[in-house]
């Protein structure tokens, strides 16, 4: 499997095809979110921006390989995924390892550690041994 996009948008069918199917020779970092404006999830938008930074940093790094992919499931396009995982809130970051099912540490504790891109990258390194250097675009200077 390979992807030209930094984040693969997953529907219920794609989630089952790429993440639930075994055997797999890759890990997946998935963000469960609710980005539709009518959901009014402000924290989801901020978390998505940080997740996008990590995924893009990985996609364009020299270390990129087919062992790690980033995906996103929006509640409005994949409610069955939320149900199958027993999730009823967003955002949630989960690691789906190459082998076996997710364990306790495979769900990032954003209540405790936050969701800054650098924090997400550290958590990914702990789960996968893959180091991602986050590249933040410079902020414009306002005079």
Q: What is the pLDDT of residue 28?
A: 96
Q: Output phi, psi for 68, to 5 deg.
A: -140, 130
Q: What is the pLDDT of residue 20?
A: 87
Task: Give domain limits for the chain.
Answer: 8-128
Look at residue 1 and tell me whether its pLDDT is greater than 70: no
Q: What is the pLDDT of residue 2?
A: 53
Q: Are 58 and 99 in contact (CB under 8 A)?
A: no
Secondary-structure class of domain 8-128 per CATH: alpha beta
Which element (helix H / strand E) includes 72? strand 68-74
Instruction: Calculate the alpha carbon distances from 123 to 29, 43, 94, 131 in Å.
Output: 10, 19, 10, 10
Q: pLDDT band at 57, cuts 50/70/90? A: very high
Mean pLDDT taken over the chain: 92
Q: What is the pLDDT of residue 143?
A: 64
Q: What is the pLDDT of residue 23?
A: 82
Which of the two residues, 64 and 31, has the higher pLDDT score? Answer: 31
Mean pLDDT along residues 111-116: 95
């Amino acid at each position: 499997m390979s992807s030209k996009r930094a984040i693969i948008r997953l529907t219920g069918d794609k989630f089952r095809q790429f993440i639930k199917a075994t055997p797999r020779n890759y890990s997946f970092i998935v963000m469960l979110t609710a980005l539709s404006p009518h959901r009014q999830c402000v924290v989801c938008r901020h978390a998505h921006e940080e997740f996008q930074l990590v995924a893009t940093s990985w996609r364009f790094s020299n270390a990129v390989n087919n062992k790690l992919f980033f995906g996103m499931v929006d509640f409005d396009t994949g409610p069955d995924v939320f149900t199958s995982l027993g999730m009823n809130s967003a955002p949630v970051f989960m690691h789906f390892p190459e082998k076996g099912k997710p364990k306790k540490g495979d769900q990032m504790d954003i209540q405790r550690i936050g969701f800054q891109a650098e924090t997400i990258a550290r958590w990914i390194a702990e789960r996968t041994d893959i180091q991602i250097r986050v590249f933040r675009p410079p902020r414009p200077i306002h005079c």
